[in-house]
Structure 1
Amino acid sequence: MALRDDPAGLDDLTRVVVDDVDDGIALVTLDRPDRLNAIDATMIGELERIVDAVDLDRELRAVVLTGAGRGFCAGLDLQEQGAAPGAEGVRPTVAGFMWQDHLASLHERIHRSRKPWIAAVDGPCVGGGFAMALACDVRTASPAATFGAVFLRIGVSNCDMGTSYFLPRLVGASRSAELLLTARIFDADEADRIGLLSALDDDPVERALDTARLIRSNAPFATWMTKETMWQTIDSPSLRHALDIENRTQIMCSSTGDVAEAREAFVAKRPPRWGGL
C-alpha cells in the first residue's frame, strides 16, 4: 500500500487502521472500539503521521475517515488522554497549553491537508470527534449517527478544537450559537437538515467512497487547488480578495498541461489522462 511504503512508516499504528480500499483512495479508521474511539495522545500522534503521509503520497486522491465499532468518536478520553510530546517536567499551565495546542493542531492539519478528507459517521460523533468531523471537507452519516459539541458539560468552553470556526461556516452563526450554547446532542436527520451532511445513508462509508471516486476522476492538482481556494475564500474580506486568489489559482492550474489533455480527451471522446502532482 502506498501510504505504508511512505518514509513516515505506518506499520506500527495501534489506535488507527489504514486500508487501501480502492485505487487512490485510503480508508482511515479510528480503532479503539472499546472506548468508542476516544482520542488520546497516541491517537493524535498517529493521525498526524497519517496526514503527513497522505500529503506526500502522489498517488493518493482522497481519504475517508471513519470509526470502528458502534461509534465514530466519543471525543477526548478523559481517563487516559496522555500528554503532549515534550511536556514532561514542565509547569502545569505550560503542560496544559501544550496539550491543548497538540490536540487542536491535529484538526487544523486535517483541514489543511492537500487531499480531500471525507468523514463517514455512524453512531456517536461528539466533543473532539465532532470537531474532527467538522475539520473534514465532506461528511456522510448513517441514520444512527448523533452529533454534538459537549465540552460545556465538563466545564470548559464549547468553542474548542476549531468548532467556533467550522460550525458557523457550515450551518450559520445563529444555529451554531444554539448548538454550542445548549451543548445538546442532535440526530442525523437534523444534521442533514441544517446542511452539515452531504449525504444521509445506511452505509455512510460506501457513500463516502462513492464521493471519493468522483473526486478521483478529476485532475489532482486542480482538486488540491479547489479545496485550498474554497476554504481560503470563505475567510476573504472582500469579493476582490476572493477573485485575486481564484485568478492566481487558475493560472497555476493552466500551466500543468491538464487543460490541454482535457481538450484532447474531449475531442477523442475518452477520459482524460491526468498528469498527476
Structure 2
Amino acid sequence: MLTVTAPRPGVRVLRLERPDRLNALTAGLVAALHAALDDAHADRACRAVVLTGAGRGFCAGVDLDGYGVPPGAEGLAGAAATRAEQEQISSLVPHLRAIRPPVIAAVNGPAAGAGLALVLGADLRLAAESARFTTAFLRAGYSAADAGTSWLLPRLVGVARAHELMLTSRRVDAAEALRIGLVTSVVPDAELLDAALATAGTIGEFDPWAVGITKQTMWAALDVPGLGAAIALEDAAQVMCVAGTTPPAAAPG
C-alpha cells in the first residue's frame, strides 16, 4: 500500500501504492502513512520527504467503496465509527506539518478530496503536467470543508478563489495551479521525481536544525494574530538556531 525508499542520502520517498484505485485512501494506507511520517521524524539523518503516488494518479481521496476500519475503532458503529475514520484521515494534514523534515508533494496526476488536502498540507508542492486538482467532496455528497482544506486553501490561493473551488468542485489543471499559487512549479511527467529530489537535495545542504526550526516557525506564524507575535516567534527561533546550529566553516583567507 505504501512504499518507502531512500534514493539519495537524507531523502525518503513515500509512494502511495494503490494505482488501480488512483491511490485512494484506506484505513490501512492511512495508518502506514502515519507510521512512515513518524519514522521520518525520528530519523535524524532524514533531511526531506517526498510524497507521491504510483501510476497515473497522486491520490483520488478516500476510497468510498471500502475504507476499512482504523486501528482502535474495531466494533464501533454509527457516528462513533464515522468519527474514528474522519479523525484518522484529517490528522494526516497536521502530521505532515508537525514532522521535522520538510515534506515535498510531487503531484503526478489527479489529486482530489483528501488527496488535495495532502497536497495542501505539504511544505512544498511540485506538479507534473498531468496533475489535476479538485476539492471533489461535494460530488460525493460531503462538505468541501474537510481535512484542513478550508484553512489551507485560502492561504495558498486567496479567499475568493478558494471559495469558488470549494463550492463548484471545479477541476484545476497544472497550468492554472501554477498561475494561482497552488503549486510552485510544473514539469513534464517524466521529470517530476527528479525535480522533487533536486529540491530535497537543496534542502539537505542546510543545517537540519535550522531547517526544522524554519519549518516549525513558518507554520506557527500562520496562526498568530499580527506582526508583533510573528516577530516574537522569529526571535525565539533565531535564538534556538544560534544555540543549536553548527556554524559554517570560515571562508578561505
Which position in structure 1 is the counterpart of 2:243?
255
- The CA distance in 2 between the partners of 1:212 and 1:257, in whole Å, is 19
In 2, the alpha carbon distance for the partners of 1:148 and 1:243 equals 35
1:105 corresponds to: 91
CA distance in structure 2 between the partners assigned to 1:132 and 1:148 by the alignment:
12
Aligned residue type for 1:104: S
C-alpha separation between the residues in 2 aligned to 1:115 and 1:72? Answer: 21
Residue type matched to 1:206 in 2? D
The alignment status of 1:268 with 2:229, answered yes or no, reads: no
- CA-CA distance at 1:86 after TM superposition: 2.1
Question: How much identity, in percent, do the aligned residues show?
Answer: 43
Query: In the alignment, what sits opposite 1:274?
Result: none
- Letter matched to residue 35 of structure 1: R
Deviations 1:55-79 (A, max 9, x none): 0000000011110111111111111
TM-score (norm 1): 0.88
Aligned CA distance change for structure 1 residues 227 and 257 (closer, same or farther; 3 Å): closer
**1:245 matched to which residue of 2?**
233
Instruction: Give 1:248's aligned amino acid.
Output: A
**Could you tell me which residue of structure 1 aligns to residue 109 of structure 2?**
123
Q: What is the deviation of 1:257?
A: 4.7
Q: Counterparts of 2:52 and 2:171 in 1: how far apart (Å)?
A: 19
3-state SS of paired residue (1:255): helix
Match of 2:129 among 128, 137, 143: 143
Letter of the 1:267 counterpart: A
Give the CA RMSD over aligned residues.
1.1
In structure 2, the partner of 1:191 is 177
Q: Does the 8 Å contact 1:199/1:207 carry over to 2?
A: no
Q: CA deviation at 1:87?
A: 1.9
Q: Matches of 2:245 and 2:142 in 1, distance apart?
A: 51
Give the whole-Å Cα distance in 2 for the aligned partners of 1:126 and 1:38.
Answer: 9
Q: Within 1, Cα distance between the matches of 2:250 and 2:161?
A: 44
SS of corresponding position for 1:214: helix
Distance 2:208 2:252 in 1: 21
Q: How many Å separate the matches in 2 of 1:104 and 1:48?
A: 11
Provide the aligned length of Structure 1 versus Structure 2.
Answer: 251
Which whole-Å CA distance do the structure 2 matches of 1:23 and 1:164 have between them?
36
Where does structure 1 lack aligned partners over 5 or more consecutive residues? Answer: 1-14, 270-277
Q: Is the 8 A contact 2:111 2:132 kept in 1?
A: yes
Distance 2:116 2:29 in 1: 15
Who is 2:203 aligned against?
A: 215
5+ residue gaps in structure 2? none
